[in-house]
Amino acid sequence: MAFNVFKKVFGSRNERLVKRLMKTCLSINALEDELSALSDADLSARTDHFRQRLQQGSNLDELLPETFAVVREASKRTLGMRHFDVQMVGGMVLHSGKIAEMRTGEGKTLVATLAAYLNALPAMGVHVVTVNDYLARRDAVWMGAIYHFLGLSVGVINSSGGKGPDAASYIYDPDYEPSEAQGHKHLRPVYRRDAYHADITYSTNNEIGFDYLRDNMALTPEGRFQRDPFYAIIDEVDSILIDEARTPLIISGQSEGKTDLYTKIDQIIPALTRQAPIKDEEGKPDFGPGDFSVDEKSKRVYLSEEGHQKVEEMLIQLGILNQGESLYDAANIILMHHVDAALRAHVLFQKNVDYIIRDSQIIIVDEFTGRTMPGRRWSEGLHQAIEAKERVPIQQENQTMASITFQNLFRLYPKLAGMTGTADTEAFEFQQIYGLEVVVIPTNQPMIREDRGDLVYLTQEEKYRAIIADIQDCVSRGQPALVGTASIETSELVSKLLTKEKLPHEVLNAKQHEREAGIIARAGEPSAVTIATNMAGRGTDIVLGGNLEAELENAVDAADRDRIVAGW
């Protein structure tokens, strides 16, 4: 009771913290007129001035009001965007090593520039972590104009797709125009080490993690890419630090071994039957007759006694196992390993859901981002088993050389911060595991969006009929529609249904990742229909009315640009 009275009078801890930070905004706002009067050269020179003050004994907290005011002025001049007061509060939360929960559309990308600039002044490297390569490139180019104006360098690290360690690493350069269509405007290719040694580096959690592992395997200091961890801002922090926290990043090397055994073992799997879950006489969970049971949660498969016996008989018939020997004999454990991998490949991993086939190779689809991960392979023989299942060339099995989880990776940073639209529900986990406090940032304008409840249908057919009806209603009113799906397979199914109804639409999934920027640029146009996997989920900015500027940036030549402009 007393606590409720205290809270009513003084507000919650979150409200008190936001109120205190709002007072600092007054100091920042008081500098606006003075900075507006400066020339571009004088404003840019403030970076050197701040660094000199750091060398003379000032700390980052003392510089915060001035640096935030300078970043806001630079943003106004380069992007025509002025940070709101609540965005300033978000920047202060990030600088203090906390998580800022900000609603969708409140400008998290712009907020990050405040804390990134301030913490880049000691020249020890700031990492801005995004959930995919597209966002890393987009945000670096978009916000790079601010940093470049203020004299800071900006690096970008993308997945090399198995093309070598120095592929897909860039420095932001406003004067760089790629000579080839596949290049990225304003992103000049550099060595990966140079991109990491920029003042601010945009990358994904995967790339930073794998490069950390490679650095730990380097034989000389010169062979390392990264500097020691200093400060990281993680976008969509709940996805990376909670959903994917225990996901292991593994670097493997090829081990010696024959691949033909995977093909032979694959032949026996179709003859095995799955046990159906039942309840025993006491009502406890059990399994019915069959050869194997499945634990969907842990993605494991277990042979029953009958299944074990049947597998041994079939292996003897194939000449793989000698008569009288057991799968569990020490000399035959490798066979058990292959059987387990083959079962998992057939039962737990689906084409166009967990992976796709491209150029006769199995390409993993990230379950969290919906994007392909070229060059990445499952371990423990699973990838080879899937290759055998899909009748594509089988590569040699890998052995683990280095491994780390995202949880342990980001605990290496002395200072860590994050942003997301959904963190308060995981506030306890963030505090307990990472020591990170969640601060809910108020919206700049009152929230007027209506969030409706879920609709549940008895059958898939009814559900899809309702989806098509909703889309037709949106199109008739000139409203753009985005249809989110859980897999490539489902996105293609919805596409077929729309085609049947003669409704024009675009599909964005891992198979069309090269067209992503163009599809997203047009997704907000009147009556546009876009079917997407979670590729169009976290961090994707769909501009209502369409995004002409983004479309023009992806034009191949002058004729293509003219065609796009004419279409508007």
pLDDT of 2: 43
pLDDT band, very low/low/confident/very high, at 158 (cuts 50, 70, 90):
very high
CA distance 74 to 51: 17
Is residue 158 within 8 A of residue 205, CB to CB? The reply is: no
Nearest to 393, CA basis, from 354, 358, 349: 358
pLDDT of 469: 95
Q: Which has the higher per-residue pLDDT, 66 or 6?
A: 66
Which pLDDT tens digit goes with each residue over 179-234?
755 568 899 999 999 999 999 999 999 999 999 999 998 888 888 999 999 999 99
Highest mean pLDDT out of 126-140, 249-263, 519-533: 126-140
Which pLDDT tens digit goes with each residue over 362-419?
999 888 778 888 878 888 889 999 999 999 998 877 677 889 999 999 999 999 999 9
Could you write out the DSSP letters of every residue in 476-515? HTT--EEEE-SSHHHHHHHHHHHHHTT---EEESGGGGGG
Torsion of CA 293, 296, 300, 304, to 10 degrees: -10
Averaged pLDDT of the chain: 87
CB-count exposure of residue 161 (10 Å: 0-12, 13-18, 19+): middle
pLDDT band, very low/low/confident/very high, at 6 (cuts 50, 70, 90):
very low
- pLDDT beyond 60 at 474: yes
Q: What is the CA radius of gyration of the chain?
A: 27
- Report which residue type is found at 379: S
- pLDDT beyond 70 at 556: no
- CA distances (Å), 70 to each of 42, 145, 150, in order? 11, 14, 9
pLDDT of 124: 96
Q: Collapsing DSSP states into helix, strand and coil, what is residue 162?
A: coil
Nearest to 359, CA basis, from 219, 511, 185: 511
pLDDT of 446: 80
pLDDT of 140: 96
pLDDT of 254: 62
CB-count exposure of residue 407 (10 Å: 0-12, 13-18, 19+): middle
pLDDT of 450: 82
* Structural domains of the chain in order of their starting residue, each with its CATH number: 9-252+408-440 (3.40.50.300), 260-396 (3.90.1440.10), 460-567 (3.40.50.300)
Mean pLDDT of 132-159: 95
Q: Collapsing DSSP states into helix, strand and coil, what is residue 16?
A: helix
Nearby residues of 380 by Cβ (< 8 Å), 6 or more positions away: 337, 341
Mean pLDDT of 45-66: 96
Backbone phi, psi, residue 308, to 5°: -60, -45
pLDDT of 9: 43
CA distance 39 to 109: 26
Q: Collapsing DSSP states into helix, strand and coil, what is residue 300?
A: strand
pLDDT of 416: 97
Count other Cβ atoms within 10 Å, centred on residue 301.
Answer: 22
pLDDT of 212: 95
Exposure on the CB side of residue 107, measured as CA atoms within 13 A:
22
Bin 546: left if φ > 0, else alpha if -120 < ψ < 50, else beta.
left
CA distance 236 to 318: 51
pLDDT of 149: 98
Look up the pTM and report it: 0.74
- Report which residue type is found at 328: Y
- pLDDT beyond 60 at 8: no
Which pLDDT tens digit goes with each residue over 264-317?
999 999 999 988 887 777 767 778 888 898 888 788 899 988 988 999 999 988
pLDDT of 1: 45
Residues of the chain with pLDDT > 90, as a percent, come to: 54
- Tokens (6 digits) for 138: 């987009």
pLDDT of 52: 97
3-state helix, strand, coil in the chain (%, to 5): 45, 15, 40
- pLDDT beyond 50 at 5: no
pLDDT of 10: 46
- pLDDT beyond 90 at 470: yes
Rounded to 5°, the CA angle 126-143-112 comes to 50
pLDDT of 37: 96
Q: Which has the higher per-residue pLDDT, 316 or 104?
A: 316
